[in-house]
Structure 1
Amino acid sequence: MAKPALAGLSPFNVTSLTLGLAFLYLPIVVLVIYSFNASRLVTVWGGWSLRWYFEFFNDAAMLSAAAMSLRVGAVSATAATILGTLAAVALTRGESFRGRTLFSGMLYAPLVMPEVITGLSLLLLFVAVDAERGFWTVTIAHTTLTMCFVAVVVQSRLGSLDRSLEEAAMDLGCDPLRAFVSVTLPLILPSIAAGWMLAFALSLDDLVIASFTTGPGSTTLPIRIYSEVRLGVKPEINAICTLIIGLIATVIIAASLASKLSSRQGESAAPL
Structure 2
Amino acid sequence: MRDKSPPGPLEYLRRPAIRAWLIGTCIFLYTPLITLMAFSFNNSKRNVVWRGFTLDYYVQVLHDTDLMVAFGNSLTIAAVSTLMSVILGAMTAILLWRFRFPAKPALEGALALPIVVPEICMGVAMLVFFTQVMPWPTEMPWPLNLGAIIISHISFSFSFVAIVIRARLASFNRELEEAAKDLGASEWRIFNDILIPHIRPGLVAGGLLAFTLSLDDFVITFFTSGPDTTTFPVKVYSMARFSPTPEINAVSTVLIIITVALTAIALRLQGTEMASDVAGG
1:15-69 Cα deviation digits (max 9, x unpaired): 3332232222111111100111122222221211111111100000000000000
Q: What is the count of residue pairs matched by the alignment?
A: 268
The residue number in structure 2 matching 1:200 is 211
Contact 2:152 2:220 survives alignment (8 Å): yes
Q: Map of 1:95-114 to 2, 5 A cutoff?
A: 96-114=100-118
Unaligned runs of 5+ in 1: none
Q: Hey, what's the Cα distance between the residues in 2 that align with 1:149 and 1:261?
A: 24
Q: Map of 1:101-250 to 2, 5 A cutoff?
A: 101-128=105-132, 129-132=134-137, 134-250=145-261
Contact 2:40 2:247 survives alignment (8 Å): yes
Distance 1:153-1:259 versus aligned 2 partners, 3 A rule = farther
Q: Hey, what's the Cα distance between the residues in 2 that align with 1:223 and 1:109?
A: 25
Q: Hey, what's the Cα distance between the residues in 2 that align with 1:120 and 1:130?
A: 14
1:116-172 Cα deviation digits (max 9, x unpaired): 111111111111222235401100111111101111111111110112212222222
Q: Hey, what's the Cα distance between the residues in 2 that align with 1:157 and 1:141?
A: 26
Q: Hey, what's the Cα distance between the residues in 2 that align with 1:262 and 1:202?
A: 25
Using the TM superposition, give the Cα deviation of residue 175 of structure 1 relative to its aligned residue in structure 2, in angstroms. Answer: 2.3
> Secondary structure in 1 aligned to 2:13?
coil
Unaligned runs of 5+ in 2: 139-144
The residue number in structure 1 matching 2:142 is none
Distance 1:257-1:154 versus aligned 2 partners, 3 A rule = farther
> Secondary structure in 2 aligned to 1:7?
helix
Identity over aligned residues, as a percent? Answer: 34
Q: What letter corresponds to residue 27 of structure 1 in structure 2?
A: P
* Root mean square deviation, CA, Å: 2.7
> Which of 49, 57, 64 is equivalent to 1:52?
57
- After the TM superposition, which of the residue ranges 102-111 and 251-260 deviates more from structure 2? 251-260
Q: What letter corresponds to residue 9 of structure 1 in structure 2?
A: R
Q: What letter corresponds to residue 136 of structure 2 in structure 1?
A: A
- After the TM superposition, which of the residue ranges 250-259 and 62-71 deviates more from structure 2? 250-259
Using the TM superposition, give the Cα deviation of residue 249 of structure 1 relative to its aligned residue in structure 2, in angstroms. Answer: 2.0
Distance 1:83-1:200 versus aligned 2 partners, 3 A rule = same
Q: Map of 1:29-40 to 2, 5 A cutoff?
A: 29-40=34-45
The residue number in structure 2 matching 1:61 is 66
Distance 1:18-1:145 versus aligned 2 partners, 3 A rule = same
Contact 1:187 1:262 survives alignment (8 Å): no
Q: What letter corresponds to residue 224 of structure 1 in structure 2?
A: K
Using the TM superposition, give the Cα deviation of residue 198 of structure 1 relative to its aligned residue in structure 2, in angstroms. Answer: 1.5
Contact 1:116 1:209 survives alignment (8 Å): yes
Q: Hey, what's the Cα distance between the residues in 1 that align with 2:92 and 2:251?
A: 36
> Secondary structure in 1 aligned to 2:45?
coil
- TM-score, normalised relative to structure 1: 0.89
Distance 1:56-1:6 versus aligned 2 partners, 3 A rule = farther
- TM-score, normalised relative to structure 2: 0.86
Using the TM superposition, give the Cα deviation of residue 266 of structure 1 relative to its aligned residue in structure 2, in angstroms. Answer: 8.8
Using the TM superposition, give the Cα deviation of residue 174 of structure 1 relative to its aligned residue in structure 2, in angstroms. Answer: 2.2
> Which of 7, 13, 23 is equivalent to 1:7?
13
